[in-house]
Amino acid sequence: MKTSERNQTTSISIATPDGRFLARYGRKGLVSLDFPGAAKIGPRGSLSARQRVPGDIRRWHRVTVAALKQALAGRQPQALPPLDLSAGTELQRRVWRVLRKIGRGQTRSYGEIARAIGRPKTVRAVGGACGANPIPVLVPCHRVLAINGKIGGFSGGLDWKRTLLKREGVRVQ
DNA sequence: GGACGTTTCTATG
DNA sequence: CATAGAAACGTCC
């Protein structure tokens, strides 16, 4: 666990069968979730109870851990912690909002997302917004595929995208 | 202004 | 089916 004064965020790593993810919390909720190896994680970091961690964050974290483990197992999380996606731009937040409505095992194309946010021609920008998603897995950017059913891209690494989809029972070309 | 990206469509062989 | 080129547009530098 590590607290940074800057934006008053607290980072706590989450040990999973797939490695250690890193969750970062702000006053309003979960701010980001990093894949194992995506960020520098300090020595030993599971949920080590520390007095400095605010109560809300502890509660949110418990929810995050449960949600992440379920999601990694290809199941729909029962609950999510409050997500603070305020850091994104207008378009990004719209995209992320739509992504959250894609259920387990479902997929959409970048074009469908573009239409869903009322900007039919921003297809490419939608891809950019997916790539900028600060909370992968829980905000399912991996469920967005290219229109031809192909895998498309994934900033967290295509292996992760394939793995997550496969666990949800989604077949990709 | 210029480059780049988790895109998509059309044309062509 | 595969490849090439172009159109499109938000972001970042």
Q: What is the pLDDT of residues A105-145, one digit of tens each?
A: 999 999 999 999 999 999 999 999 999 999 999 999 999 99
| Cα end-to-end distance, chain A, whole Å | 40
Active site residue A130: no
A156 CA, C6 C1': Å apart: 29
Single-letter code of the amino acid located at A61: H
- Protein-proximal positions, strand C, CB < 7 A: 7-12
Query: Which nucleotide is closest to A155, CA to C1'?
Result: B6
Rounded distance between C-alpha atoms, residue A21 and residue A34, angstroms: 5
The Cα–Cα gap between A158 and A163 comes to 8
The answer to whether residue A51 scores a pLDDT higher than 60 is no
A82 burial level (CB within 10 Å; 0-12, 13-18, 19+): exposed
Q: Is the pLDDT of residue A1 over 80?
A: no
Measured distance CA(A7)–CA(A161) in Å, rounded: 30
* Candidate list A67, A141, A144, A145, residue with the active-site label: A141
Point out the least confidently predicted range of A31-45, A55-69, A150-164. A31-45
| Nearest nucleotide by C1' position to the A91 CA atom | C10
How deeply is A105 buried, as exposed, middle or buried, from its count of CB atoms within 10 A (0-12, 13-18, 19+)?
Answer: middle
- What is the radius of gyration, based on Cα positions, of chain A? 16
CA(A45)–C1'(B11) in Å? 55
**Pairing relationship of beta strands A2-4 and A144-145 according to DSSP bridges:** unpaired
pLDDT digits (tens, 9 = 90+) for A79-110: 999 999 999 999 999 999 999 999 999 999 99
| Burial group, residue A136, by CB count within 10 angstroms (0-12, 13-18, 19+) | buried
Q: Which residue is nearest to nucleotide C8 (CA to C1')?
A: A121
DSSP line for A149-163: S-----TT-HHHHHH
Distance A150 CA to B10 C1' (A): 19
Per-residue pLDDT band at A45 (split at 50, 70, 90):
very low
